């Protein structure tokens, strides 16, 4: 269901979630964060949903950042409470079972960049700008940026971006591995939808296990991660889709997935 600040549409197992506050460049206010957390929880629990596309309304911004006016008067304890809620939401996106694609249609700065970092795949419009400019406000990235950004682009480059507050254009972000694709702005949602369809058409039991293997394995030592991968690989052989997928390959036909 759409809410006051979010637009939600679903078709063929793909849900598009649009942050609909273009007048504030879709900045993440406390109200929007709460609504986004509720929507993400509902989508994670919905068996009909396979892939979620997150984007921003308007042509200027995906999410331009957090709500500075709401944050400015906070004390340390209040600030910690806000940031922990945001971290919990972004963790639910990264470590939940659904695949999330960020369709970055403009500025993705601060909290907006951190939201994109939490998604599994990032597709940017040619005019998009990404960055963590929090240092210019006398603060640090606190919604996951100090941890997710170096895991994607490397420690040195991540420090450079956060210490200077510099923005990246979409092409630079792709060269660093921060985004997967750069496409013309008018093709952004179509490109995100095409990617979502590709993923939604695969065995969802395998899709879920791939996501778990990568996201959880990245937090382990390499030896533990290999053991974890082996356990998830073995788990595939308890599913209908493994039997169906391999049988279909041998019979040279298209598999019929049951996602279990």
The reported pLDDT for the residue numbered 45 is: 95
Domain presence at residue 66: yes
Beta bridge partners of 100: 52
Work out whether strand 51-56 and strand 14-19 pair parallel, antiparallel, or are unpaired. parallel
Helix-helix angle 222-236:204-217, to 10 degrees: 170
| Direct distance between the N- and C-terminal alpha carbons of the chain, in angstroms, rounded to an integer | 27
Q: What is the pLDDT along the chain (260 residues), one digit of tens a residue?
A: 667 899 999 999 999 999 999 999 999 999 999 999 999 999 999 999 999 999 999 999 999 999 999 999 999 999 999 999 999 999 999 999 999 999 999 999 999 999 999 999 999 999 999 999 999 999 999 999 999 999 999 999 999 999 999 999 999 999 999 999 999 999 999 999 999 999 999 999 999 999 999 999 999 999 999 999 999 999 999 999 999 999 999 999 999 999 99
Active site residue 134: yes
Closest CA to 92 of 15, 164, 37, 16: 37
The torsion angles phi and psi of 7, rounded to 5 degrees, stand at -110, 130
Active site residue 81: no
Residues 6+ apart with CB under 8 A from 212: 232
Contact predicate 4/40, CB 8 Å:
no
> Is residue 132 located within the same domain as residue 224?
no
- Of 200, 226, 242, the position where a domain reaches its end is 200
> Is residue 23 located within the same domain as residue 145?
yes
The reported pLDDT for the residue numbered 155 is: 97
Q: Which of 42, 94, 114, 219 is catalytic?
A: 114
Q: Which of 42, 134, 175, 219 is catalytic?
A: 134
3-state helix/strand/coil string of the chain:
CCCCCEEEEEECCEEEEEECCHHHCCCECHHHHHHHHHHHHHHHHCCCCCEEEEEECCCCEEECCECHHHHCCCCHHHHHHHHHHHHHHHHHHHHCCCEEEEEECCEEECHHHHHHHHCCEEEEECCCEEECCHHHHCCCCCCCHHHHHHHHHCHHHHHHHHHHCCEEEHHHHHHHCCCCEEECHHHHHHHHHHHHHHHHCCCHHHHHHHHHHHHHHCCCCHHHHHHHHHHHHHHHCCCHHHHHHHHHHHCCCCCCCCCC
What range defines the domain where residue 236 resides?
Answer: 204-250
Separation between Cα atoms, residue 204 and residue 241, nearest integer Å: 9
The reported pLDDT for the residue numbered 3 is: 76
> Is residue 73 located within the same domain as residue 157?
yes
Domain presence at residue 158: yes
CB atoms within 10 A of CB 102: 29
> Is residue 121 located within the same domain as residue 16?
yes
Domains: count for the chain: 2
Contact predicate 241/257, CB 8 Å:
yes
- Of 200, 218, 242, the position where a domain reaches its end is 200
| CATH code, domain with 61 | 3.90.226.10
The reported pLDDT for the residue numbered 1 is: 61
């Amino acid at each position: 269901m759409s809410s006051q600040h979010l637009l939600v549409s679903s078709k063929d197992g793909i849900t598009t979630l649009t942050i609909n506050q273009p007048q504030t460049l879709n900045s993440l206010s406390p109200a929007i964060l709460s609504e986004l957390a509720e929507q993400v929880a509902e989508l994670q629990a919905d068996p009909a949903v396979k892939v979620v596309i997150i984007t921003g309304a308007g042509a200027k911004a995906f999410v331009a950042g957090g709500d500075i006016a709401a944050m400015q008067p906070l004390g340390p304890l209040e600030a910690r409470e806000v940031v922990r809620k945001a971290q919990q939401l972004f963790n639910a996106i990264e470590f939940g079972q659904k695949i999330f694609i960020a369709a970055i249609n403009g500025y993705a700065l601060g909290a907006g960049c951190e939201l994109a970092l939490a998604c599994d795949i990032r597709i940017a419009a040619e005019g998009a700008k990404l960055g963590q400019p929090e240092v210019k406000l006398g603060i640090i990235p606190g919604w996951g940026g100090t941890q997710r950004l170096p895991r994607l682009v490397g420690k040195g480059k991540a420090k450079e971006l956060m210490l200077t507050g510099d923005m990246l254009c979409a092409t630079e972000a792709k060269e660093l591995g921060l985004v997967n694709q750069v496409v013309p702005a008018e093709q952004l949602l179509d490109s995100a939808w095409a990617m979502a369809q590709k993923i939604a058409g695969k065995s969802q039991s395998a899709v879920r296990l791939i996501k778990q293997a990568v996201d959880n394995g990245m937090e382990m030592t390499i030896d533990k991660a290999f053991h974890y991968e082996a356990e998830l690989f073995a788990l595939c052989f308890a599913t209908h889709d493994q039997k169906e997928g391999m049988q279909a390959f041998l019979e040279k036909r298209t598999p019929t997935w049951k996602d279990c």
